């Protein structure tokens, strides 16, 4: 099996793992933020800012993986 066949199988599989991981992480972050807002409604603004920052970092990692996949797809 040459490297092109390995890349053709590994890239979609890796992107699927990244997508599922990102979805789980975003869901957990939002759920924790909603729970924290429910416990302390007066701190909702600070919680929202911290949650949005965390979600941006999670999405950035997902986009980096997508760019990396496109670079590797160019090798096929």
Q: Report the number of distinct structural domains present in the chain.
A: 1
Residue 75 has pLDDT above 90, yes or no: no
Here the CATH number for the domain that contains residue 11 is 1.20.20.10
pLDDT confidence of residue 72: 92
Cβ(26)–Cβ(55) under 8 Å? yes
Confidence of residue 19 (pLDDT cuts 50, 70, 90): very high
21-64 pLDDT, tens digit per residue, is 999 999 999 999 999 999 999 999 999 999 999 999 999 999 99
Lookup: tokens for 60: 């950035």
Half-sphere exposure of 8 (CA within 13 A, CB side): 6
Nearest CA among 19, 24, 29 for reference residue 62: 19
Range of the domain at 42: 3-73
pLDDT confidence of residue 67: 96
Query: Per-residue pLDDT averaged across 7-24, rounded?
Result: 95
* In 1-76, beta strands by DSSP E: none
pTM assigned to the model: 0.84
């Amino acid at each position: 099996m040459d490297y092109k066949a390995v890349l053709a199988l590994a890239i979609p599989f890796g992107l699927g793992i990244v997508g599922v991981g990102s979805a789980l992480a975003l869901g957990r972050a939002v759920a924790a933020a909603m729970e924290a807002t429910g416990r302390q409604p007066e701190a909702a603004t600070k919680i929202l800012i911290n949650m949005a920052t965390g979600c941006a970092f999670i999405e950035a990692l997902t986009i980096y993986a997508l760019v990396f996949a496109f670079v590797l797809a160019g090798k096929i």
